[in-house]
Structure 1
Amino acid sequence: MAFPQDWRSWETQIARLIAQAWLDEALYTLLLNEPKATLAANGLILEDFVEVRIHQDRDAVPVLQGTQGETVIYILPLPPKPDDVTDEQIHCWLDGRAEGFPGGNINASCC
């Protein structure tokens, strides 16, 4: 699959995967060490010409970079789990019982 036409859907799927990785250390490690393969294993398949790089800063955002060659670089944000977000809040968001992304403006009263 090429980059999706619906970037909002893609970003939501990425956000869900990041939240799941905060709950699962093995998934976090896989995403960190083998990002493209881990994305593909979770239904987020990119073309061969796309290289995925991880950016771990707390304020990281997704970035799509072109190069002079045929490679496109997708910078995937993978920040550490925020200290002020509980596992329960993450589960609430993943289950659809809270609005806002964990670490952002999550509705903390969901659970």
Structure 2
Amino acid sequence: MADNLSVVPENWPQVNQIVSKAIARCWLDEAFKADFIDNPRSILEGEGLSFPEGVSVTVDQNSTKWTTEPLSPGSQKMVISIPLPPRPAEITVEELKNWLDDQGDAPRCVPVCSC
């Protein structure tokens, strides 16, 4: 898998927060999770993120790491894969709800970060 830093946006902290909150919502809401898996780019754009032309976004439920790779060998188009692992047992539903409602700190580790 390619590690293409050129697709990492300058506003990475904002991206990390938005994606982390989307993952937290997935852990709390199965309908949102299904929609996020099917339409991650659309959902993230609805939260204020933008992606360059030629960048696809996918969700990988079997990973804890972001990946970026060419759509095909030699392609200028990229695929960003966002991890969506199961909710860690030590992160409570209450912690997630409070964080999503901006009433608490981020849980100890939402897997989008490299904790």
Using the size of structure 1 for normalisation, the TM-score is 0.73
Partner residue of 1:92 out of 55, 79, 98: 98
TM-superposition CA deviations, 1:8-56 (whole Å, max 9, x none):
2211211011112222221111111122222222222212300112111
Q: CA deviation at 1:82?
A: 2.5
AA of the residue aligned to 2:10? Q
Q: Does 1:63 align with 2:67?
A: yes
Q: Say if 1:84 and 1:103, in contact at 8 Å, map to a contact too.
A: no
Partner residue of 1:19 out of 10, 24, 27: 24
TM-superposition CA deviations, 1:47-94 (whole Å, max 9, x none):
23001121113x512222245112111011112222343210112333
Query: What stretches of structure 2 of length at least 5 have no aligned partner?
Result: 1-6
Q: Say if 1:53 and 1:76, in contact at 8 Å, map to a contact too.
A: yes
AA of the residue aligned to 1:13? I
CA distance in structure 1 between the partners assigned to 2:103 and 2:69 by the alignment: 32
Percent of matched pairs sharing the same residue: 25
Q: Does 1:81 align with 2:87?
A: yes
Q: Say if 1:53 and 1:73, in contact at 8 Å, map to a contact too.
A: yes
Partner residue of 1:30 out of 19, 32, 35: 35
Q: Does 1:43 align with 2:48?
A: yes
CA distance in structure 2 between the partners assigned to 1:42 and 1:27 by the alignment: 14
How many matched pairs? Answer: 102
Using the size of structure 2 for normalisation, the TM-score is 0.71
Q: Match for residue 108 of structure 1?
A: none
CA distance in structure 2 between the partners assigned to 1:55 and 1:5 by the alignment: 23
DSSP-derived class of the 1:53 partner? strand
Q: CA deviation at 1:102?
A: 4.8
